[in-house]
Structure 1
Amino acid sequence: MSSKDDADDGSVNCGSGGGSNEFYGLRIASIFIILVTSLFGALLPIVLRSQKGGRIRRHLFDFAKYFGSGVIIATAFIHLLAPAIDELGSPCLKGEWQTYPWALALCMLSIFSIFFTELILFRWGTSILRRANTSYDHHGHDLGAHSAHGPEGTLGHTSAEVRGGVGEDSEYGGASKHPLAALDGSALAQITGIFVLEFGILLHSLLIGLTLAVDENFKVLFVVLVFHQTFEGLGLGVRLAMAKLPDGYDALRYAGALLFGFTTPLGIGIGLGVRHTYNPGSTTATIVSGVMDSLSAGILIYTGLVELLAHEFLFDDAMKHTSNRRLIFACGCMVLGAGVMALLGRWA
């Protein structure tokens, strides 16, 4: 039975089928429109970081940072975990798929996998620096010095104090001047954390690109994804900009932003190429999408709750001593980001 027949009689299409061919020209244009908006969101924090001085720049960066944290958390629950539960509970799937909460199990597996990866890197890095008579934590904070996790360092410390821990303009994630920065496990953990976050976001971006290329509700989904990719890019871009990388590795920030910017357009292009045979509601596509969304949700949940909420609000020395006004501003930006992204989940 064709997709159209299924849609007419209200049944579920679990075959290979094909996607919608409506608005083909606009679907092609969406490749370039989403490319621009994705790159804008991902590159903006990195460009702000590279500029010199200014209160406006600092406030913009702080807004983007906390807004992006909220976006990442909402993306994990609303745009990844919820769809994964629906996909892996689809009536197209039979047998064991219907008797166990696979989406939640895979999400939990992803969380523990990220935790054990960071734990191993932390112990390895600690062992290396112990032999060099140096101590650090795996998020880039030298013990005995103030937090250098990112722009939050400016909330309770002067620029001179910040520069004492890391490089010039370090309140925006400047490169570490530590003599072992290019070798220690802290840098390795930072780079690994970026790739883990990027991997989770890229899986999601590729899937939504494929869906946009063939979805029947193209116009609504297209408008929503323009904002979705901009905000998600902002969340990723802030992480890239804040990362305390060793000297000579700044190109990784731009590479990560570019990779994100091109992933959804790539998914759209692939979807258009296979639109006559690809049915996002088919059994195979549902399983693949559900598994990838579950794993991505675990990555973003871990990143959002541990790396962002815990380390930026609970364990950061600067945030502990900052004014109530700045704390409210940070929490408000985060809630706003989560709220906007959760609202977008009403349509996509």
Structure 2
Amino acid sequence: MSDLNCGSGGGATTYPQLRIASVFIILIGSLSGALFPVLAQRSSWLHVPKGVFDFAKYFGSGVIIATAFIHLLSPAISELTSPCLSPAWQVYPYPLALALLSVFSIFIVELVAFRWGTAKLAALGVRHDAHGHGLGAHAAHGPEGGMPNDSNSEKSKEDLESAHDHQVDLGATGQVIGVFILEFGVLLHSMLIGLTLAVDPDFITLFVVIIFHQSFEGLGVGTRLAHLQLPPKYNYVAICGALLYGITTPLGIAVGLGVQSTYNPNSTTASIVSGVLDSLSAGILLYTGLVELLAHEFIFNKEMINGSNSRVAYALSCMLFGCGIMALLGRWA
């Protein structure tokens, strides 16, 4: 207890030059992980085999789920049970409650958006494939009934084209919403670890771990962005998402260095803010990882349902490998 520092004093100032260099080193690692899958998917000069993309996709799913449990929920519990906080924080498992609130909030938002989108498509005479939700797999069908006669054929053709256009737009919107939810949870986490790295006394160990952490997490986010099936007018979404991920942790480090003399990560305010944000982010990544990624990639994916046992085993192995590596990094950060 004698080493407990709950005041507003500054963080550690050791290795000042390396802390500054970490902004650029982690920027390179984060951008490389997030941008490479996006650029490889959209450029003709980068010929990446499909097997590499599949590995990165399943590996990334495991990384995201492990991040939720090991790198977000566990620190949130530590932060909101800190001895620096009021005893009122100890009488209820607030980190788990906030994560639970986050899970159901995201679920309700997606449910409302999904019902609204399905109703819009139904009004246009398009039947929606519910199991394709979040994967961009929407089954387009024309209005039920017989073939149109000659007098109405042109009008029917225009109606079908309009319905298809609306379906594509709504499908793209659904995918963008799903990726935005994932990015929001990851970005909150990235900003916080950047702030922590800037002022943490155990800088060297944390720095090395965060380089791998951000690269692996960037790979997970980047492969999800790369697999977005969007119309050409939405192509910028994937690149912007990768760039946003790449700059968030370096930005957090820069902010942390700017307030190094006053920001104490162990202070009461910092513990509460970090704990609440980590809890909410954990809920977001848990929902996204287990529902949007795991369920849709394995349970609702026809390639997995009808695929060979070896294909399913390979995908599971990639996912568990990513989960295991990310969980192992939690030993040090």
Q: What TM-score does the superposition give when structure 1 sets the normalisation length?
A: 0.85
Q: Does residue 235 of structure 1 match 2:220?
A: yes
Given that 2:40 and 2:46 are in contact with CA atoms closer than 8 Å, whether structure 1 keeps it comes out as: no
Structure 1 segments of 4+ aligned residues over 4 angstroms from their partners? 51-56
Q: What SS does the aligned partner of 2:169 have? A: coil
> 1:54, 1:241 → 2: CA distance?
13
Amino acid at match of 2:169: L
> 2:29, 2:203 → 1: CA distance?
17
> 1:144, 1:178 → 2: CA distance?
7
Q: What SS does the aligned partner of 2:214 have? A: helix
The structure whose RCO (Cα within 8 Å, separation 6+) is larger is 2
Given that 2:40 and 2:48 are in contact with CA atoms closer than 8 Å, whether structure 1 keeps it comes out as: no
> 2:164, 2:218 → 1: CA distance?
30
User: For 1:1-348, what aligned pairs fall within 5 Å after superposition?
Assistant: 10-51=2-43, 57-136=49-128, 137=130, 138-139=133-134, 140-143=136-139, 178-181=164-167, 183-184=169-170, 186-348=171-333
Q: What SS does the aligned partner of 2:4 have? A: coil
Amino acid at match of 1:196: I
> 1:208, 1:290 → 2: CA distance?
12
> 1:243, 1:125 → 2: CA distance?
18
Amino acid at match of 2:7: G
> 1:33, 1:27 → 2: CA distance?
10
Task: For residues 126-158 of structure 1, give each alpha carbon's deviation from its aligned partner in whole angstroms, at most 9, with x where no partner exists.
Answer: 11100111022332222379xxxxxxxxxxxxx
Given that 1:271 and 1:278 are in contact with CA atoms closer than 8 Å, whether structure 2 keeps it comes out as: yes
Gapped runs of 5+ residues in structure 1?
1-8, 146-176
> 2:48, 2:37 → 1: CA distance?
13
Task: For residues 162-183 of structure 1, give each alpha carbon's deviation from its aligned partner in whole angstroms, at most 9, with x where no partner exists.
Answer: xxxxxxxxxxxxxxx9422453
Amino acid at match of 1:312: E
Gapped runs of 5+ residues in structure 2?
142-162
> 2:288, 2:120 → 1: CA distance?
25
Amino acid at match of 1:206: M
Size of the alignment, in residue pairs? 308
Aligned Cα root-mean-square deviation (Å): 1.8
Q: Which has the larger radius of gyration?
A: 2
Amino acid at match of 1:62: D
Q: Taking structure 1 as reference, are residues 182 and 317 closer, same or farther at Cα in structure 2, changes over 3 Å only?
A: closer
Q: What TM-score does the superposition give when structure 2 sets the normalisation length?
A: 0.89
Task: For residues 264-311 of structure 1, give each alpha carbon's deviation from its aligned partner in whole angstroms, at most 9, with x where no partner exists.
Answer: 000000100110000000000000000000000000000110011111
